Amino acid sequence: MTERPQPILEVRDLRVRFATSRGEVRAVDGVNLALAPGDTLGLVGESGSGKSVTLRAILRLLRSNATTTGEARWRGQDLLAMPEKRLRALRGREIAMIFQEPMSALNPVIPIGVQIAESLQAHTALDAAGRRRRAIELLDLVGIPSAAQRLAGYPHEFSGGMRQRAMIAIALAAEPKLLLADEPTTALDVTIQDQILKLLLRLSRELGMAMVLVTHDLGVVAETCERVSVMYAGRVVETGPVDRVFTAPGHAYTDALLRSMPHGGVARAPLRPIPGLPPRLDRPLQGCPFTPRCAYAEGRCGAEAPPFAPVAPGQEAACWASDRLARREVPA
Amino acid sequence: MKDGALLQVENLTKAFPLGRSLADALRGRPQRALQALGGVSLSVNRGETLGVVGESGCGKSTLARCLVRLYEPDCGAVRFEGKDVLGLTGEARRSYHRRVQMVFQDPYASLNPRLSVGDALAEALTVHRIVEPSATRDRVGALLDLVHLPRDAADRYPHEFSGGQRQRVGIARALAVEPSVIIADEPVSALDVSVQAQVVNLFLELQDRLGLSLVFITHDLRLVRHVSHRLAVMYLGKVVETGDTEAVFTAPRHPYTRALIAAVPQVDPHQRSTREAVRGELPSPIAPPPGCPFHPRCPIAEPRCRTEVPALDRRHGGWPVACHLAGAPST
């Protein structure tokens, strides 16, 4: 990569396999990611592409039937190799995570204020009065009105959007350097999603916090992220600046995905779907995993996996057809 | 009444009573109710797609269920080919159900897991006596062709299909009885984008081939713009704006429609904005605000918006909008 600052997070050859009753599933198959301080990276892909598993693997939050290999270097230290105790000290303090469903992360029988205070107690040296003050500041920061009164409220008394805000407040308690966000707005209505995305964007700017945002919605990435990595069948197939990848994609899958989306101003025109389905991950894959669905596929695509190669400054893709995409040069 | 109106809804209301605590009952407090539909009027013309959009709690799914009489509305009328359908019983009601079919968000929940796809389709054909029993197998094959599923799908069970294929089965099931109208409630919301496009195209194609009317209910504005001829925007149990899809998208008249459109994440990274499209939360349908339901979040609300409920009408010309402050349409 060209003139990129030293990464704070560097994921190298990450692989996650799940042992299931149907055999071994390769959910993540050699993922590389790099994140500079303050970077906002979108990790997009469809169901089963491995985007959420990648995120959870970084913080070792996967179930016991998962086997993880590779490296996830956080400021030089490998999160995957360090003792559990060291990792626990980093989780929440330097790297925080938020989830799609806040109710699964919030404790239903403890008031929100106490949950924020717990996080502050674990990660800061504040005394009880300081923690209360900070908790109010945090609720205020994430846009919860009349913060002081809401401290005593329980999660079920909050709406979906407010719960998501409360979870973000807890995640921000220790002023983390990196926020991992797993589909944080997928369950929300579009006007509330808009508010939460704008909030995350503002916070990452104001606090200089780096962010990895996992989503299936290309629009969400376009609105919030500077860089994007596109995943397919457990692999990153393309990575680069959002404005490059979305206007001049370097991978045939990114191209097809962008074209399959409904765009405004073309009422009642048929969409351009991607034919077929993603491959099964419990069988060996040869060549590029997108080959059977790809309009640009040629002989070697199904046999030989394309290397990750630069297509433009800061943009890389693993596609044999990179240079044919812009010209729409489809094999006969 | 318009010539082409096949299905007409007038002033439909539906409330769901809520459980009352013993303490409330003893104090003689009235039972509370969730007002899901607060007087909805709209019409669907022959061969057209009406898109119904709105956020959670706006009543769009309740509306769908009232249209196929899965719920009985409290007040108002539903007319099909000019005839009131809410009073229908017996054979007439069965005939209405055959002509107006529903497709659900999760076909897995609406298909019997123990019936093969072929048997499920054959059942619909038999119940409504669509074809002679001897012709059933051929017709099942033709239906699978219609939704682009292989013929051998007839011998398989719902769990053997992917989400997109299952939705095709759901559509074939609805089409089996040769309906005139399909009510589709979030039919592609559970599907991945690339598969979503396959199913959306199928709807467009089938509509052109069979001359179907479609009520397409969704929260996805990008999608609704793509599939609908006309649009109805709902907020808190009411239609706040309805008109030609492109006209509404190009120059929305209701501040809520404007906010909704602005809130949709754009795929074009150059159109990024840092301002929130609308502040505040969706109000609870148990205690909707007085006056215009949108006034607590509205950037241009005036005092009368807090007290007077705006009617849905063609103020200053143009298409119907329920806003005191709507000016003349700008295009």
Residue A227 lies in a domain: yes
Asked if B206 and B171 touch (Cβ cutoff 8 Å), the reply is yes
Pair (A277, A301) in one structural domain: yes
Residue B171 lies in a domain: yes
Residue B317 lies in a domain: no
Pair (A221, A242) in one structural domain: yes
Neighbours of B82 (CB within 10 A): 9
Examine the predicted complex and report whether its ipTM is higher than 0.90.
no
Residue positions counted in chain B: 331
Q: Please, which pLDDT band fits residue B247 given cuts at 50, 70 and 90?
A: very high
Residue A287 lies in a domain: yes
Q: Identify which of B42, B39, B221, B311 has the alpha carbon closest to the alpha carbon of residue B326.
A: B311
Residue A35 lies in a domain: yes
Cβ <8 Å between B194 and A270 = no
The structure tokens 């005036």 sit at B302
Taking the C-alpha atoms of residue A182 and residue A158, their distance in angstroms, rounded to an integer, is 20
The DSSP letter of residue B43 is: E
Pair (A167, A225) in one structural domain: no
- For chains A and B, count residue pairs whose Cβ atoms are closer than 8 Å: 135
Pair (A195, A164) in one structural domain: no
What pLDDT, on the 0 to 100 scale, is given for residue A10? 96
Asked if A140 and A172 touch (Cβ cutoff 8 Å), the reply is no
Residues of A in contact with B195 (CB under 8 A): 273-274, 277
Cβ <8 Å between A270 and B274 = no
Cβ <8 Å between A274 and B265 = no
What pLDDT, on the 0 to 100 scale, is given for residue B40? 95
Neighbours of A109 (CB within 10 A): 8
Pair (A28, A51) in one structural domain: yes
Last residue of a domain, one of A154, A175, A196: A175
Cβ <8 Å between B269 and A243 = yes
Asked if B14 and B65 touch (Cβ cutoff 8 Å), the reply is no
Last residue of a domain, one of A175, A190, A217: A175
Cβ <8 Å between B265 and A217 = yes
Print the domain residue range for A121: 105-175
Least CB–CB distance from B268: residue in A161, A222, A268: A222
Q: What are phi and psi of A21, to 5 degrees?
A: -65, -20
Least CB–CB distance from A264: residue in B192, B197, B225: B225
Residue A260 lies in a domain: yes
Asked if B243 and B258 touch (Cβ cutoff 8 Å), the reply is no
Q: Bigger pLDDT: B133 or A211?
A: A211
Taking the C-alpha atoms of residue A175 and residue A177, their distance in angstroms, rounded to an integer, is 7
What pLDDT, on the 0 to 100 scale, is given for residue A1? 45
Taking the C-alpha atoms of residue B18 and residue B27, their distance in angstroms, rounded to an integer, is 16
Pair (A118, A229) in one structural domain: no
Pair (A228, A163) in one structural domain: no
Residue B272 lies in a domain: yes
Residue A3 lies in a domain: no
Query: Span B169-177, mean pLDDT?
Result: 92
Tokens linked to A276: 């077929």
Pair (A130, A166) in one structural domain: yes
CB neighbours of A281 closer than 8 A, spacing ≥ 6? Answer: A25, A26, A27, A29, A48, A233, A234
* Residue B133's CATH number: 3.40.50.300
Tell me which of B276, B294, B297 to substitute to probe the interface with A (most A C-beta atoms closer than 10 Å): B276
CA-based nearest residue in chain A for residue B297: A191
Asked if A229 and A238 touch (Cβ cutoff 8 Å), the reply is yes
Q: Identify which of A212, A249, A252 has the alpha carbon closest to the alpha carbon of residue A232.
A: A252
Print the domain residue range for B103: 5-306
What pLDDT, on the 0 to 100 scale, is given for residue A110? 93
Residue B111 lies in a domain: yes
Q: What are phi and psi of B134, to 5 degrees?
A: -70, -20
Pair (A166, A230) in one structural domain: no
CB neighbours of B207 closer than 8 A, spacing ≥ 6? Answer: B47, B49, B214
Residue type at B105? Answer: Q
Tokens linked to B257: 């429609």
Pair (A111, A84) in one structural domain: no
Residue B329 lies in a domain: no
Residue positions counted in chain A: 332
Residue B12 lies in a domain: yes
Strands B5-17 and B33-45: antiparallel
Last residue of a domain, one of A175, A204, A228: A175
**Total domains present in chain B:** 1
Residue B249 lies in a domain: yes
Residue A304 lies in a domain: yes
Cβ <8 Å between B194 and A258 = no
**Total domains present in chain A:** 2
Taking the C-alpha atoms of residue A224 and residue A198, their distance in angstroms, rounded to an integer, is 8
Taking the C-alpha atoms of residue A167 and residue A159, their distance in angstroms, rounded to an integer, is 12
**HSE toward the beta carbon, residue B203, CA cutoff 13 A:** 34
Residue type at B308? Answer: E
Residue A134 lies in a domain: yes
Residue A330 lies in a domain: no
Taking the C-alpha atoms of residue A62 and residue A68, their distance in angstroms, rounded to an integer, is 9
* Residue A288's CATH number: 3.40.50.300
What SS3 state is found at B88? coil
What pLDDT, on the 0 to 100 scale, is given for residue A3? 57
Query: Span B148-158, mean pLDDT?
Result: 92
What pLDDT, on the 0 to 100 scale, is given for residue A270? 81
Q: Report the phi/psi class of residue B100: left, alpha or beta, with left for phi > 0 and alpha for psi in -120 to 50.
A: beta
Contacts 24+ apart (CB under 8 A), B300-304: B300/B255, B300/B325
Torsion angle defined by CA atoms of residues A66, A68, A72 and A78, in that order, rounded to the nearest 10 degrees: 110
For residue A211, the distance in angstroms to the closest alpha carbon of chain B comes to: 17
Residue B258 lies in a domain: yes
List pLDDT tens digits, range B49-84: 999 999 888 999 999 999 999 999 999 999 999 999
Q: Residue-wise pLDDT tens for chain A (332 aa)? A: 445 678 999 999 999 999 988 889 999 999 999 999 999 999 999 888 999 999 999 999 999 999 999 999 999 999 999 999 999 989 989 999 998 888 888 999 999 999 999 999 988 899 999 999 999 999 988 888 888 888 999 998 888 888 989 999 999 888 899 999 999 988 888 888 999 999 999 889 988 999 999 999 999 999 999 999 999 999 999 999 999 999 999 999 999 999 888 876 566 778 888 988 889 898 888 999 999 999 999 999 999 999 999 999 999 999 999 999 988 888 87
The structure tokens 């990276």 sit at A41
For residue B233, the distance in angstroms to the closest alpha carbon of chain A comes to: 14
Q: Please, which pLDDT band fits residue B1 given cuts at 50, 70 and 90?
A: very low
The DSSP letter of residue B156 is: S
For residue B112, the distance in angstroms to the closest alpha carbon of chain A comes to: 24
Cβ <8 Å between A189 and B55 = yes
Pair (A109, A231) in one structural domain: no
Q: What is the pTM of this model?
A: 0.88
Residues of A in contact with B235 (CB under 8 A): none
Residues of B in contact with A197 (CB under 8 A): 265
Taking the C-alpha atoms of residue B149 and residue A241, their distance in angstroms, rounded to an integer, is 39
Pair (A43, A130) in one structural domain: no
